[in-house]
Structure 1
Amino acid sequence: MLDVVAWVHIAGGRMLAVRARGRDLLYLPGGKREAGEADWAAISREVREELSVELDPRTFRRLGVVHAPAHDQPEHTHVRMSCFTAAFHGRIHPSGEIDELRFVSVNERELLAPAARAALDLAADSGLLG
């Protein structure tokens, strides 16, 4: 089981997704916690590394947790992804291992890895997609 954190950012009724170098599907910004790292610290660090923006700790909110098969991992590997929202400062642009960013609508589910699809559903169920 992969236990990760993810930033759910919605703009214009679409969810931000990223493509890491060498990946075929889109994922949410975020990743694994370092040893002893709290959710807020992990997601802030990952988003800074991937998108060059700073999340605002005052707006940090837990959206929920999704479970899904892990894409591009050994068979039977699953992901537990804790999803959070937060406002940010700066201009979003891909950096580090991120080659592409894209805002995805509910009609573009096929572009997303399974856990990101589950997060899209969570955002829709929470009323974030309009």
Structure 2
Amino acid sequence: MQFIDKLAWIEIQNKSILSTKSYGKDKYYIPGGKREAAETDEQALLREIKEELSIDLDLSTLTFVGVFEAQAHGHPGGTLVRMTCYTANYSGQIKAAAEIEEVRWLNYADQDKISAVDKLIFDHLKQLNLL
């Protein structure tokens, strides 16, 4: 079993969740990414969100949501993605940057547009009546 260790920032407004699609990808993902060597969750998430969305997360408001695991989209069977999710307030205006082609607000009915791990996260948020 191989694991891809990723971090994600959950931003919900009006029962929709902020999602991103990278150039050349066929699915939307909750924004975030992989940590670099020796980075903490906080460091990696702040860096990734700044790179992808041109905004700054407020570290003092960072709140752990959960860890979700599923088959990694587009990878061989047995490759799991482990997504550690947080919420946080932010400053700045959200706009696509770096490898991000599109930023879109998705709702629970958009499950055909997302990866397996994001489906688990959507289900969790739906149970909390957030989506």
TM over 0.5: yes
Verify: 1:85 aligned to 2:109, yes or no.
no
Counterpart position of 1:111 = 113
Partner of 1:97: 99
Aligned twin of 2:122:
120
Unpaired stretches in structure 2, ≥5 consecutive residues: none
Instruction: Give the structure 2 partner of residue 39 of structure 1.
Output: 41
* Structure 1, unaligned runs of 5 or more: none
What do the CA deviations read for 1:58-108 (whole angstroms, capped 9, x no partner)? 110000011111001222211110010001000001000000011111011
- Read off the aligned partner of 1:94 and give its amino acid letter: A
Report how many residues are paired: 129
Alpha-carbon distance between aligned partners in 1 of 2:35 and 2:24, rounded to the nearest angstrom: 22
Percent identity over paired residues: 38
Letter in 2 for 1:72: G
Over the aligned positions, Cα root-mean-square deviation in angstroms equals: 1.0
Contact 1:64-1:122 at 8 Å conserved across structures: no
Aligned-residue offset at 1:37: 0.4
**Secondary structure in structure 1 of the residue aligned to 2:30:** coil
TM-score normalised by structure 2 residue count: 0.94
Which secondary structure does the structure 2 equivalent of 1:118 belong to?
helix
Ranges of 4+ aligned residues in structure 1 off by more than 3 Å: none
Deviation for aligned residue 1:109? 0.8
Give the alignment partner of residue 12 of structure 2, picking from 10, 14, 35: 10
